[in-house]
Amino acid sequence: MSHITSPETPPAAPLDCASPLLEVRDLQTSFIVGEGEQVRAVDGVSFTVSSGETLAIVGESGSGKSVTSLSIMRLLPKKIGMITGGSISVRGRNLAQLSEREMRRVRGNEIGMIFQEPMTSLNPVHTIGQQISEVVIEHQKLSKKAAWARAIEMLEIVGIPEPVKRASNYPHQMSGGMRQRAMIAMALACEPTLLIADEPTTALDVTIQAQILELMKDLQARLGMAIVFITHDLGVVAEMADRVVVMYAGQVVETGLVNDIFANPRMPYTAGLMQSIPHIGSSENKKKLQTIPGYVPLLTRLPSGCRFRTRCTYATDLCAAAEPPLETLEDGRSVRCVRWRDLDLTPRRAT
């Protein structure tokens, strides 16, 4: 029986803090489009995650967030999606070099994943209990009876009422919030050291969203696991994350501690994302929310120089001259912008 149901049991012991749990270095992921042309959807992405830490990866749709998570899990579409460079290391082992058989042992057991839409991720012809049991049998080698008991236990842990009854339900017999909780139960059934959550609350109403976020924080505190939280919602980032990686058009454009990013963004794109957040009680709400003009460019038609420059109000000819590097600042933050020294992007809130 799992130790996580006992409130007296302390959180899992953290890994050696000298080395990160997850280390992604210069990750490059490409897709084949059209007549065999390769397009790089993730271009040189690097970040680390330590045990017990929550890292948020943020950006608009098309920025490369989900492709990064699928690359880590080695779940890219076969024949058209491939890792073409870089490394993905968990506890020092490069996942990009593992065989598919070896990778199956990692998924679910060492790394759990919550997908964005449960109805497309859960199997409609198997009960929730069967699907959780299958994961436990595969990785923990339990008997069917013990695995079923574990499935019921996990449903109880994630706050699903009448877990014995619900274990026999099919996905369509559960509400959206319950399906998402069932996905979390499945992802955590083998107590992974790393959880990847890809937009896990996007399709839920705000009340259920708050419950799911609170559940994830509680389970993280009890298990001591690391979380990579993928979202476009900076409000969720403020609630959940320790550090932030901002992505745009397949690249990392800014990184830093949550408090630093919110207090003083250095990249105009990050500042634009923050300006689009509504603030309750502020006179800003009487005005139209600010938005970033235009759209994320097609990867087949990237602009010269900075990829954000065609949407950036601060862009100059210098921004078109060459692609800016990701520069590490003295405080440990990183930013990809040639003008970051000249700009004051500190948020100014009306009251």
Structure tokens at 186: 């499945």
How far from 296 is each of 67, 222, 289, 318, 345, CA to CA, in Å? 15, 39, 19, 20, 21
Structure tokens at 297: 């460019």
Look at strands 226-231 and 251-257 and give their pairing: unpaired
Question: What confidence category does residue 17 fall into, taking pLDDT thresholds of 50, 70 and 90?
Answer: very low
Tell me what the mean pLDDT of segment 119-148 comes to: 91
Please spell the DSSP secondary structure of 29-96, one letter per residue: EEEEETTTEEEEEEEEEEEEE-TT-EEEEE--TTSSHHHHHHHHHT-PPTTTEEEEEEEEEETTEEGG
Least confident of 142-146, 187-191, 227-231: 187-191
Rounded-to-integer distance, Cα 83 and Cα 215, Å? 33
pLDDT on residue 288: 63
pLDDT on residue 124: 93
Rounded-to-integer distance, Cα 332 and Cα 12, Å? 28
Tokens 């959206």 correspond to: 176
The residue type at 147: A
Question: What confidence category does residue 204 fall into, taking pLDDT thresholds of 50, 70 and 90?
Answer: confident
Tell me what the mean pLDDT of segment 248-277 comes to: 93
Please say whether the dihedral angle defined by the alpha carbons of residues 91, 95, 101 and 107, taken in this order, is positive or negative. Answer: positive
Q: Indicate the SS3 state at residue 229.
A: strand
Domain ranges of the chain: 22-241, 247-335
pLDDT higher than 80, residue 202:
no
Q: 200-221 burial by CB neighbour count: b if 16+ within 10 A, else e? A: bbebbeeebbebbbebbeebbe
Closest to 250 (Cα-Cα) out of 71, 90, 93, 8 = 71
Question: What confidence category does residue 119 fall into, taking pLDDT thresholds of 50, 70 and 90?
Answer: confident
Residue 140 has, within 13 A of its CA and on its CB side, a CA count of 23
pLDDT higher than 80, residue 5:
no
User: Do 163 and 152 form a contact (C-beta atoms < 8 A)?
Assistant: yes
User: Do 59 and 247 form a contact (C-beta atoms < 8 A)?
Assistant: yes
pLDDT on residue 279: 62
Residue 200 has, within 13 A of its CA and on its CB side, a CA count of 34
Span 284-317, pLDDT tens digits: 445 566 789 999 999 999 999 999 999 999 999 9
Structure tokens at 49: 């995650």
Question: What confidence category does residue 98 fall into, taking pLDDT thresholds of 50, 70 and 90?
Answer: very high
pLDDT on residue 205: 81
Span 33-87, pLDDT tens digits: 877 789 999 999 999 999 999 999 999 999 999 999 999 999 999 889 999 999 9
Question: What confidence category does residue 3 fall into, taking pLDDT thresholds of 50, 70 and 90?
Answer: very low
User: Do 60 and 296 form a contact (C-beta atoms < 8 A)?
Assistant: yes
Percent of the chain with pLDDT over 70: 90
Superfamily of domain 22-241: P-loop containing nucleotide triphosphate hydrolases (3.40.50.300)
Question: What confidence category does residue 223 fall into, taking pLDDT thresholds of 50, 70 and 90?
Answer: confident
pLDDT higher than 80, residue 243:
yes
**Using the 8-state DSSP alphabet, how is residue 15 labeled?**
P
Q: Indicate the SS3 state at residue 133.
A: helix
Rounded-to-integer distance, Cα 43 and Cα 86, Å? 10
Percent of the chain with pLDDT over 90: 63
Please spell the DSSP secondary structure of 170-195, one letter per residue: -GGGS-HHHHHHHHHHHHHTT--SEE
User: Do 152 and 238 form a contact (C-beta atoms < 8 A)?
Assistant: no
Q: 172-198 burial by CB neighbour count: b if 16+ within 10 A, else e? A: eebeebbbbbbbbbbbbbbbbbbbbbb
Any residues with CB less than 8 A from the CB of 219 and at least 6 apart, and which?
A: 4, 157, 158, 184, 188, 225
pLDDT higher than 80, residue 99:
yes
Tell me what the mean pLDDT of segment 255-270 comes to: 95
Tell me what the mean pLDDT of segment 328-346 comes to: 92
Mean pLDDT, the chain, rounded, equals 88
